[in-house]
Structure formats: C-alpha cells, structure tokens
Amino acid sequence: MKVIVIGGGPAGMMSAITASQNGNEVILLEKMERLGRKLLITGKGRCNITSSLPIQEFIQNIPGNGQFLYSAFNNYTNTDIINFLKSEGLEVKEERGKRIFPITDKSLDVLKCFEKKLKALNVKIEYNAEVVSIKKDLDRFEVELKNGTILNSNKVIIATGGKSYPLTGSTGDGYKLAKQLGHTVTQIKPSLVPFEAYDKKTCKELQGLSLKNVGIEFKDIEKNKVIYEDFGEMLFTHFGVSGPTIKNIDELLKNKKIILKIDFKPALSEEKLDKRILRDFDEEKNKELKHSLDKLLPKKLIPVIIEKSEINPEKRVNEITKQERKILVNLLKNFELEISKFRPIEEAIITSGGRY
Ligand SMILES: Cc1cc2nc3c(=O)[nH]c(=O)nc-3n(C[C@H](O)[C@H](O)[C@H](O)COP(=O)(O)OP(=O)(O)OC[C@H]3O[C@@H](n4cnc5c(N)ncnc54)[C@H](O)[C@@H]3O)c2cc1C
C-alpha cells in the first residue's frame, strides 16, 4: 500500500518508520527544510525523551481525562522508545523526577536516530513540501502541495503537530486538513504556557532567575481555595513566570482572580527555615542584611525579598528582630504574584484539545 505521512516531527517520523516496516511504500512530507525542528529545541536542547514512570501515572499526569491515551501508551511504551534509540546506538540516562534524557544531552542525537532508521528503510522524504489540502475519493487520497504538485496514496497519516512555536513549522495545519476530510476538531488551547503577572517590577528584577526545586500553588483569591499545586522548576521572565511546573489551568482561571504562591524553600518547614536563617546570622553577626542571605538564596532574589520585607537592607543582622525574621520566612515560604493573563498559544509548550 502507498502511505503518505504529513509532518516530519517525532510522530510523523515514527509513523513513517512503522508504516515502512509493515511493508508499505511510504512518502514523508515535511514543509520545512529539515525534519524535527521542534524536537531539536525540546528539553532546552537536551530532549526529555520520556519518563520511567508506570503508564498509569503518565495518564494521571495528562490534564483533563487522559484515559483516551491508554491504548496508545500501551501499544508503544516508554521502554519501546528507549529500546528503539538503543538499537540505533543512542544510550539514555535517568535524571531527577524519573525523566529520561539521551546520554549525550543532545536532542540532535535523538533526531539522528530517526533519520538513520528512515534512511535504512528507504523512506522517501520530501522537504519544503507543505500540504495545503487533502481530498478523499473512495479509497484513494489526493494530497495537494503548496507548489501545486498532487500526490496520491491509499492511506494518509496527519502528523502535523500542534500550533505552538510556529517557527518550527507547527502552525496547526493538521486541524484544517482533518476538517477537510470531515473530521470534527475540538477547540485547541495552550497548555504548559507561561503567564503574565501584574507586578511587572518584581518580574523584571527577577528576570532570568531559574529555580529548580520550588513549590507552587495557584489560589483562587475570592474562594480562598488552592486550585492547583506542583513542585519543580520555574523561570522568571520580564512579564511573569514560565517553566514546566506551570501547567494548563485556564479552565480553572475563567473569571477568577488567581494568585501564584511560590515556596522557595519547600524542603524546610517555617521553623527549620527560621533556625537556618538564625544560624547564618550568628556566623557573621556584624554583616548587613543585604550581604547575609547569599548562602540561602540566589543573588537576584535577595534585594527583592528584602524590599518586600521592608527591613532596612543596611541593618546589621544581630539587630534583626524575631518578628522581622518571621516576615522573611513568610516571604520565602509564601511569595505571592497575582496573575494577569496567559501568554498566547504560540508560546505554549503543548497544544491541548483538537482531538479528531
Ligand atoms: C520549548 C519546547 C520544549 C519541549 N520540550 C519537550 C521535552 O523535553 N520532551 C517532550 O516530550 N516534549 C517536549 N516538547 C513538546 C514536543 O516538542 C512535542 O510534543 C512534539 O514535538 C510533538 O511531535 P509531533 O511530531 O506531533 O509534532 P511536531 O514536532 O510539531 O512536528 C510536526 C511537523 O509537521 C510539519 N508540518 C506542519 N504542517 C505541515 C504541512 N501542512 N505540510 C507538511 N508538513 C507540515 C512541521 O513542520 C513539523 O516538522 C517541547 C515543546 C517545546 C515548544
């Protein structure tokens, strides 16, 4: 059978490999000048390939109802992708949070495995081949490229990705193509998307500060209720906050005033944090407050915390009162930023919805 795969991201490349291994004649159409452009930027260029968690936990981590992915996850598991990469010569390693990365820390090496396999299977790849329409006539498909070329096949696989990071080629074309074939496409939404905070001054001061182990909590101000909590990495940007811990909560945010509460020291209780601060102060009693928190906090955070505490930054630490320490502890455990809005889908890590 002749199979056309549209889109040369990880999904399209793997579909082309599988279709070819099953004895089909495969053409892979990619609208960019190379394959896997989004794959190259994943995991900050290191590609977080998969996780070693059990499949049931994959499903629990999908926002909304992830059960519809049960059979896909079971048909091709985390072990399968690891074994595929190993068979192409790439070893992997496990990092904190059960995340799996290539041993070389390079997403390019993951892409090379796919390209190697496609070559070995003689899959025909067309670059700069943007599909603009698909027509179905009985059991034949007619696929039209932007340059006017018409290709025919028995089967078509649409693997055009989502709508985020459009410069990588993912511009949401697949939704339009699926509609042309009569599929219903549900509303698409940004997921894992950065958001803006009202307090731009604080964000500008903290811009670029990347934190590895923080606790976050989204709180509905009106109901005084925590609606989402997580633990992990985050990054301050000039407009707000971004990072893997900030998952899609837009459903929950409708018509609500939301505060993001950050716990900069989740491993320490308030009591333990107070003792730790006291110990640091005791070691250098005559130091000014502004010079005394560098063992505990990243440099960028110190002036922000001191300003918010309203304690004189030049005050000697042996003059800091118990009450002032309490204010510092409270700021470090309950740092608050009010969310003004989410950034657009183009900046999301993932597109959710759309199922066709
Ligand atoms: C900054 C960032 C970091 C990420 N980090 C990770 C990570 O560490 N781990 C992880 O698992 N996921 C990560 N992701 C998500 C991951 O990149 C996507 O889930 C993945 O790329 C989806 O693969 P795909 O093949 O479905 O789509 P894509 O990778 O989007 O590929 C779709 C391909 O289709 C092509 N195409 C589109 N329209 C057409 C058309 N009309 N004709 C022909 N070709 C077309 C595109 O050019 C593109 O090459 C990250 C995403 C971003 C943005």
Taking the centre of ligand 1 as the mean of its atom positions, its distance from the CA of residue 322, in whole angstroms, is 52
Give the bridge partners for 221, in sequence order: none
pLDDT at residue 342, as a whole number? 83
Task: Output the residue whose Cα is nearest ligand 1's atom 13.
Answer: 42
Q: Are 241 and 337 in contact (CB under 8 A)?
A: yes
Nearest Cα to Cα of residue 233 among 248, 219, 223, 243: 243
Residue spans per domain, the chain: 2-189, 193-356
pLDDT at residue 251, as a whole number? 55
Whole-angstrom distance, CA of residue 100 vs CA of residue 201? 37
* H or E element, residue 169: none
Give the bridge partners for 195, in sequence order: 241, 342
Measure CA of the first residue to CA of the last residue in the chain; give whole Å.
Answer: 24
Pocket test for ligand 1, best of 170, 191, 352 (most atoms within 8 A of CB): 170
Whole-angstrom distance, CA of residue 82 vs CA of residue 101? 10
**Residues composing the chain:** 356
Taking the centre of ligand 1 as the mean of its atom positions, its distance from the CA of residue 280, in whole angstroms, is 47
Concatenate the DSSP letters of all residues of 125-162 into one string.
Answer: EESS--EEEEEEETTEEEEEETTS-EEEESEEEE----
Q: Are 52 and 100 in contact (CB under 8 A)?
A: yes
Taking the centre of ligand 1 as the mean of its atom positions, its distance from the CA of residue 311, in whole angstroms, is 48
Pocket test for ligand 1, best of 4, 29, 34, 38 (most atoms within 8 A of CB): 38
pLDDT at residue 229, as a whole number? 84
Per-residue pLDDT of the chain in tens (356 residues, 90 and over written 9): 999 999 999 999 999 999 999 999 999 999 999 999 999 999 999 999 999 999 989 888 776 778 888 999 999 999 999 999 999 999 999 998 899 999 999 999 999 999 999 999 999 999 999 999 999 988 899 999 999 999 999 999 999 999 999 999 999 999 999 999 999 999 888 878 888 999 999 999 999 999 988 999 888 888 888 888 888 889 999 999 987 666 555 555 665 788 999 999 999 999 999 999 999 999 988 899 999 999 999 999 999 999 999 999 999 999 999 999 999 999 999 999 998 888 888 988 888 888 75
The residue ranges of DSSP E strands in 166-264, in sequence order, are: 188-191, 195-197, 210-220, 225-236, 240-242, 258-263
Domain spanning 2-189, CATH class: alpha beta
pLDDT at residue 184, as a whole number? 94
Ligand 1 nearest atom to the CA of residue 160, by list position: 34
Nearest Cα to Cα of residue 204 among 348, 337, 44, 349: 337
- What are residue 236's phi and psi, to 5 degrees? -85, 135
Task: Output the residue whose Cα is nearest ligand 1's atom 22.
Answer: 161
Nearest Cα to Cα of residue 134 among 163, 172, 177: 177
Task: Output the residue whose Cα is nearest ligand 1's atom 29.
Answer: 9
Whole-angstrom distance, CA of residue 159 vs CA of residue 150? 19
pLDDT at residue 246, as a whole number? 62
Q: What is the largest CA-CA distance in the chain?
A: 85
Predicted structure pTM score: 0.85
Pairing of strands 225-236, 240-242: antiparallel
Around ligand 1, the residues with Cβ closer than 6 Å are 6-12, 29-32, 37-39, 41-43, 47-48, 129-131, 159-161, 164-165, 169-170, 173, 349-350
Token pair in block for residue 277: 């601060």
Residue with tokens 């005084």: 224
Angle at 327 between CA 324 and CA 333, to 5 degrees: 145
